[in-house]
Chains A and B, each alone.
Chain A
Amino acid sequence: MSAQMDKRRPYVRSMNSWWKRDPFFVRYMVMEATSVLVALYAVILLVGLLRLSQGEAAFNGWLGALESGPSILLHVLILVVFLYHLWSWFKVMPKTLPMIFVNGKKLPADTITYTGVLLAVVVNLIVLIILV
């Protein structure tokens, strides 16, 4: 047994740059990275809330800062990232739900994804209509 074990020398491969190995992993990492900008935007909104609590002038200052060139550029970038975040979030959603059966048939993953996306679009439109 030991003589046999001596011949064994299992080779462990490195995991360096593992996410570059497959386009699937790259998409996963991009999906994970979008959450950084989601968090950043949450901070921007929280700062707005803080400024609101500090009075009208402070809040107007925050609004003014949002209208600057770099801020608008950042918002366009965040919007694009959010759209990908939205899509990838609902793409994973079918994996996180228990199996749903409708008339004895399993609800297809795509139906769950598209329903989620549609719902998100409708909710966003309603919010836009209320705000504008």
Chain B
Amino acid sequence: MADTTKTIEIEVLRYRPEQDKEPFFQTYTVPFEDDWSVLQGLQYIKDDLDGTLSFRWSCRMAICGSCGMMIDGKPRLACRTFLRHYHPNKLRVGPLEHFPIERDLVVVVEDFIRKLESIKPYIIPKEPRKLEQGEYLQTPAQLEQFRQFSGCINCMLCYAACPQYGLDSKFTGPGVLALMHRYNADSRDGGRGERMALGHSEEGFWGCTAVTYCSEVCPKDVDPANAINQNKMGSAIDYFLRFVAPRGAGK
């Protein structure tokens, strides 16, 4: 590490609640090699320059969803963004937009977790089967209906890309609604009715105004904008149908 000749300036948005009134940028000069990710740059800062810097990370390979942050204004995973793309310019790193800042690059995620739990992100079997009845079978076509939407790693980049969530956090938001659709679209699942009371509401699919930036920034190509908006047609039909044939709420 000491042999590296190239250096890059990283401006990090700092916020230490016990001493700072508001966030401020602190600049660090970091020596790096071409294969260094932004996350490695931050780890260098924490290990060698300033141990007080806080950020979340875990897997270093774009699957745990912990290291989402704003990198030069874009929501990105720090582990799959490389310092060489910004060199010789400096780069700015900040916590994910639209979430309250807990400390430095760490954001408050309680709201997201609560929403995630609220949509029952698990299969609620349509017909409970006993072990001896064997597995639930599914055709490739049935799999394709939800496979893309099951790639979500809960990294929350889509929330940092969603101005509707930033303006009003009552909106359930892209990632969680995409997961709602993922389970509703699963042929083995029978929980649609339990989830759709929220789905049909203003806080659900209708809170989306199709900015579609969520789908641009998703590191797993989940396409939350598609998951959400393809539900609006059904939701509208359902709304008018209830006048013709009243059913249970949210079915």
Residues in A lying within 8 Å of B, measured CB to CB: 7-13, 15, 18-19, 21-22, 24-25, 28, 32, 92, 94-99, 101, 104, 106
CA distance A7 to B226 in the complex (A): 40
Q: Which A-chain residue is minimally distant from B140 (CB atoms)?
A: A104
Contact of B211 among A10, A28, A96 (CB under 8 A): A28
Contact of A22 among B74, B101, B223 (CB under 8 A): B74
Contact of B212 among A7, A8, A92, A99 (CB under 8 A): A92
Chain A residues whose C-beta falls within 8 Å of the C-beta of B163 in the assembled complex: 15, 18-19, 25
Chain B residues whose C-beta falls within 8 Å of the C-beta of A11 in the assembled complex: 15, 17, 22-23, 100-101
CA distance A25 to B216 in the complex (A): 12
CA distance A13 to B73 in the complex (A): 14
- A selection of 12 A-B contacts at a CB cut-off of 8 Å is A7-B18, A11-B15, A12-B101, A13-B101, A18-B163, A18-B166, A25-B163, A95-B210, A95-B212, A96-B210, A104-B140, A106-B144
Within B76-129, the residues touching A (CB, 8 Å) are: 97, 100-102, 108
A2 to chain B, nearest CB (A): 15
Is B61 an interface residue, CB under 8 A from the partner?
Answer: no
Chain B residues whose C-beta falls within 8 Å of the C-beta of A19 in the assembled complex: 163
Contact of A12 among B100, B215, B233 (CB under 8 A): B100
- 19 other A-B residue contacts (CB within 8 Å) besides A13-B101, A104-B140, A104-B141: A8-B102, A9-B17, A10-B17, A11-B22, A11-B100, A12-B100, A13-B23, A24-B211, A24-B216, A28-B212, A94-B226, A95-B212, A95-B225, A95-B226, A95-B229, A96-B210, A96-B232, A97-B230, A99-B148
Q: Which B-chain residue is minimally distant from A14 (CB atoms)?
A: B166
**Inter-chain contact total with CB atoms closer than 8 Å:** 75
CA distance A2 to B140 in the complex (A): 52
Q: How large is the interface on B (under 10, 10 to 19, 20 to 34, 35 or more residues)?
A: 20 to 34
Is B213 an interface residue, CB under 8 A from the partner?
Answer: yes
The verdict on A10 contacting B213 (CB below 8 Å), with A18-B166, A98-B230, A101-B144 known, is: no
Chain A residues whose C-beta falls within 8 Å of the C-beta of B74 in the assembled complex: 22
B205 to chain A, nearest CB (A): 11
Chain B residues whose C-beta falls within 8 Å of the C-beta of A24 in the assembled complex: 211, 213, 216
A40 to chain B, nearest CB (A): 21
CA distance A9 to B108 in the complex (A): 10
Chain A residues whose C-beta falls within 8 Å of the C-beta of B211 in the assembled complex: 24-25, 28
Is B154 an interface residue, CB under 8 A from the partner?
Answer: no
Is B249 an interface residue, CB under 8 A from the partner?
Answer: no
A107 to chain B, nearest CB (A): 12
A128 to chain B, nearest CB (A): 30
CA distance A111 to B74 in the complex (A): 28
Chain B residues whose C-beta falls within 8 Å of the C-beta of A104 in the assembled complex: 140-141
Chain B residues whose C-beta falls within 8 Å of the C-beta of A94 in the assembled complex: 226
Chain B residues whose C-beta falls within 8 Å of the C-beta of A7 in the assembled complex: 17-18
Is B145 an interface residue, CB under 8 A from the partner?
Answer: yes
Chain B residues whose C-beta falls within 8 Å of the C-beta of A22 in the assembled complex: 73-74, 213
CA distance A99 to B97 in the complex (A): 30
Contact of B145 among A15, A32, A92, A99 (CB under 8 A): A99
Is B167 an interface residue, CB under 8 A from the partner?
Answer: yes
The verdict on A21 contacting B73 (CB below 8 Å), with A8-B17, A11-B22 known, is: yes
CA distance A94 to B210 in the complex (A): 11
